[in-house]
Structure 1
Amino acid sequence: MTPRTDLPLHRILSDEGFRIFFPLAALHAGLWPMIWVLLWSFDLPFARDLPPGIWHGYEMIFGAWGAALIGFLTTAAPEWSDSKRLRGRILWWLAASWGFARIAGLTGADLLIWPAALADLIWLGFLPSYLLVLSIRIRTDRLLSFAGWGLALAGLGMWARLQMAMGDVDGAMRALTLAGLLFAGLLGLALARITVPVTNEVLDPTGRTSPFRPHPGRLNLGPGLVALAAFSDLAGGSAAVTGYLWIGAGAAFMERMAEGFIGRAAFRAEILGLMAAAGFSGAGMIALGAARLGASWPEVAALHLVVMGGLGLGVLAVLAIAGRFHTGQGLGLSRRSKAAFLLISLATLLRVLPEMGVMPWPPGPLHGIAALAWAAGFLFWLWDYWPALRDPATLGQLH
C-alpha cells in the first residue's frame, strides 16, 4: 500500500504517541532549563511564595520526563499487548493538559498551582488507568508493573503540588526528590524491556538468534531496590538506613550497566547510551547514600546525577532508539544523535562535579555552560529526527 503524502502535519503527529510527545520532551528538556538559567538567572517572572527552584525541579521531572513517559507508554503499550494504538484527538487532549501545566511552570505564578495540578492530574491519572484497562481487556500482566509505578508517580506529583500550594518548601522538595528517584526506577523497568532486543539486534542483525539473555532474577532488581529505598524514605527511615538502601539500589543499576559489556559491540552508540543511563543513575544513588552517611557533597548534587545523567541519557536513548524503530529504520545513530549523548553527559558532569568538589567551576554564569550543552543535546536529537517524525511515508512503519 502506497503511503499518503498529502496528510496535514497535525494528522501525522497524532498518528502515534511518540510523534507528538518525543519532540515536546526534547523541546521542554532543552529550552526550559536554559531559559531559567541564562535568561531569568534562576528566577521566574511571577514566583512569589515559592522558591523558583521548586518550580524548576517539578518541571524537569513532570515536564520533560513526563512528556517522554506519555510518548513511550502510549506507543509501547499497544505494541506489547498487540492492541490498537491511541491516535488523534485523545493524544492532542493529553498534549494540551501536559502543555498547560508547563506554561504555568514557566511563569511560576502561584495562582496557577491548582489549575496546573488539575492539568497534570489528567495525564498522570490517564496513563495508569489506560494500562490497567488495557491489561483487563487483553488479559495480560505485562503492563501491570508500569501501571503500578505510574500510580505511585501520580501520587507523588499530586503530593508535591499540594505542598507547593500550602507553601511547604521542605515537603515539596521531599516529594520531588522521591519523584525523581521513582522515575529512575521506572527507567529501570523501561531499560529491562529495551536493552534485550536492542542488544540482540546489535549482536545478530538477522534476528535468527537471541545471544543476549540477561539473568531473569536480576532483570528488575534495580527498580525493586528503588521501590524498597523509596518506601523506607516515606516511612521515615533514618539517614543511615536509607543511605545504605540507596547504595544498594545504585549498585543494582551499576550491574545493569555492566551487562552492556558484550565484547566489541559494546562500543556501539546505542549500547553505550543505555549503559551510561544505568551508570549515571547508579552513581547518583550511591552518591546519595554516601551523602546520608556523611560524605562531604550535598544531596542535591547526587540527585542531579540521577535526574540529569541517568534520566537525561535514558530518555535520550528511548527517543533515539524507539524513534528509529517506529519510523521504519534500523539501529545506527547519526553523528548528531551521537553528539547529543556526549553533550548530555558533559552537561551533567559540568553541573555536578564542581558542586561535589571534584573539579573547579567552569567560567561564565553559574551553570551557564552546562545549560547550553544540555539544550544543545536535546535540540540536536530533534534536528536529527524531525524529518522522519513529520514524514507521512514513515506512518505505521515498525522495524
Structure 2
Amino acid sequence: MKDEPAVLSEGLRLFFPAAAIHGALWPVVWVVLYAFDLPFSGNVPTSQWHAHEMIFGTYGMALAGFLTSAVPEWTDTPRLRGKPLLILLGLWMPGRLAGLIGADWMIAPAGLADAAFLAFLTVSIALPMIRRRNRNHASFAFWALAMLGLEIAIRLGWLLGDFELSARLLHGALVIFVVLMALSVTRINIVVINHALDPSGDTRPYRPHPGRRNLAGALAALYALVMMALPDSQAPAFLALAAAAAFFDRQAEWFIGTALFRAEVLALAGANFFSGLGLAMLGVAGLGAPFAPATGLHLLSMGALGLAVLAVFTIAGLRHTGHELILPARSGLAFALMLCAALVRTLPEMGLGSWLIGPHYALASLLWAGAFLAWLSGFLPMLLAPNRQG
C-alpha cells in the first residue's frame, strides 16, 4: 500500500520498538519510582507482577516481532502488515497497564487481552506453515501455544490465590522462552557466523553440529515440565544441570577464531553461556547449594534472554531494513550495558561484590533500561524509514 507507513509494513518494525520501550521503562518505574511497592498492589506478590511483565510483556512482544517477520520468510507467504499489527499491539497493551500499577482487579480483563494476543500470534504463524505444509519450524507454533496455556494458568492461579502455583508457572514460562531463544539462535547463528567468517557471502564455511541443534532446548523444556509437575522432587535440579551441560556443550559452536570478537557473534555466544550458567545455578540451588533460585532466574532473564533479544533486534533490524550486517556503535553499547546489568543484578547475590546488595536493584534496572534505549536510539530511525532495498 502506497500510503502505508513503513512502521506498519512488517511486524518487527512496530513490535521491536514497543518491546524495547516497555523493557526500558517498566523496571525503572517499579524499582526506582515505586521502590517495589506498586500503587494498586493487592494479593498478587509484586515479584510475580514483575516476572509476568518481563516474560509476557517485553519478551512476548519481542517474540511477536520476530515470528511475524521470520515465518513469512520461512514459508514464502505474505507477512502481516497494517491493521492486523495494530490489533496485536492493542491486545498486548491492557496487560502492560495492569502490570505497571499492579491492579488485582485488572487480572481477568488483562488476562483475556494477553490470551487473545497469544492466540492471534499462534494462529498467524501456524496458518502459513499449514498451508505450505512446512514442518521445519512447527516447534515455534507449538511453544507459542504453550505460552498461551501458561498465561491462562498463571492468571487463574492469581484469581484463586494459589501464588505458589503461579510462581512455578512463571518459572516454567521463563524457561520456555529460553527454549524459544535456543531454537531462534540455532537458525540465526548459521547466518551470523557464516557472515563473520566470510562477509562476501561466497562461501558458507560454518555448519552447526546436528546433535547440538535441539538437545539444549529439549532438555530445558523437560526441566520446565518436571519442575512444574514435581516441585518437591530433586529430579528438576538434575535436569537443570543436564540442560546446563547441553548449553555449555553448544558453546563449542562459537570456537571460530578471531571472528568470535564481532559484537553480534559475542552477543549470541554470551546468551548461550548465560543460559547454561542460569540453569546450572538453578540446579545446584535445587540440590541445596547456598544460592537463591532467583539468582539463576535472573541469569536466564537478563543475561541469556536480554542478550539474545538485543541480538535479534539488531540482526533482524539490519537485515529487514535493507542494511548490511555491520553493527552501529550503539549496538555494541547496548550489548555491553545489558551484560553489566545482568552481572550487577546477580554477582552480589553470588558473593561477588556483596557490598552492592540493596543498591544493585536500582543500578541493574538503570543499566537494563540504558541497553534498550541505546538500541532504540540507533535503530528507530531505520525502522521508521522505508526499506533501503525498496
Partner of 1:19: 13
Q: 1:293 to 1:214 in 2, by over 3 A?
A: same
CA drift of 1:238 comes to 4.9
Q: CA RMSD in A?
A: 1.6
CA drift of 1:393 comes to 4.5
Q: 1:326 to 1:393 in 2, by over 3 A?
A: closer
Residue-by-residue CA offset, 1:86-129 (whole Å, 9 max, x unaligned): 10000000001111111111111111100110110112112222
Task: Output aligned runs, 1:161-180, within 5 Å.
Answer: 161-180=155-174
Residues 239 and 292, structure 1, Cα contact 8 Å, conserved in 2: no
Partner of 1:81: 75
Partner of 1:206: 200
CA distance in 1, matches of 2:45, 2:361: 18
- TM-score scaled to structure 2, two decimals? 0.97
Does 2:345 match 1:360? no
Q: Secondary structure at the match of 2:348?
A: coil
Q: Which stretch of structure 1 is more off in the superposition, 125-134 or 100-109?
A: 125-134
Any stretches of 5+ residues in structure 1 without a counterpart?
none
Partner of 1:160: 154
Does 2:299 match 1:305? yes
Q: Secondary structure at the match of 2:289?
A: coil
Partner of 2:384: 390
Residue-by-residue CA offset, 1:177-222 (whole Å, 9 max, x unaligned): 0100111011000001100111111111222221000111211111
Residue-by-residue CA offset, 1:5-37 (whole Å, 9 max, x unaligned): xx57xx221100001100011111111001100
Residues 258 and 275, structure 1, Cα contact 8 Å, conserved in 2: no
CA distance in 1, matches of 2:310, 2:122: 23
Partner of 2:49: 55
Task: Output aligned runs, 1:263-278, within 5 Å.
Answer: 263-278=257-272
Residues 253 and 281, structure 1, Cα contact 8 Å, conserved in 2: yes
Residues 341 and 364, structure 2, Cα contact 8 Å, conserved in 1: yes
Residues 247 and 272, structure 2, Cα contact 8 Å, conserved in 1: yes
CA distance in 2, matches of 1:205, 1:371: 36
CA drift of 1:364 comes to 7.3
CA drift of 1:60 comes to 0.5
- TM-score scaled to structure 1, two decimals? 0.94
Partner of 1:233: 227
Q: 1:233 to 1:92 in 2, by over 3 A?
A: same
Q: Secondary structure at the match of 2:39?
A: coil
Residues 246 and 288, structure 1, Cα contact 8 Å, conserved in 2: yes
Q: Which stretch of structure 1 is more off in the superposition, 70-79 or 51-60?
A: 51-60
Partner of 2:238: 244
CA distance in 2, matches of 1:146, 1:368: 34
CA distance in 2, matches of 1:275, 1:148: 25
Partner of 2:317: 323
Partner of 1:295: 289
Q: Which amino acid counterpart does residue 240 of structure 2 have in structure 1?
A: W
Q: Which amino acid counterpart does residue 283 of structure 1 have in structure 2?
A: L
Q: Secondary structure at the match of 1:25?
A: helix
CA distance in 2, matches of 1:186, 1:174: 19
CA distance in 2, matches of 1:20, 1:120: 18
Residues 256 and 275, structure 1, Cα contact 8 Å, conserved in 2: no
Q: Secondary structure at the match of 1:392?
A: coil
CA distance in 1, matches of 2:161, 2:34: 22
Q: 1:235 to 1:368 in 2, by over 3 A?
A: closer
CA distance in 1, matches of 2:360, 2:139: 40
Q: Secondary structure at the match of 1:367?
A: helix
CA drift of 1:130 comes to 2.2
Residues 132 and 143, structure 1, Cα contact 8 Å, conserved in 2: no
Residues 344 and 360, structure 2, Cα contact 8 Å, conserved in 1: no
Partner of 2:182: 188
Percent sequence identity is 47
Q: Secondary structure at the match of 2:98?
A: helix
Does 2:348 match 1:348? no
CA distance in 2, matches of 1:135, 1:335: 37
Any stretches of 5+ residues in structure 2 without a counterpart?
none
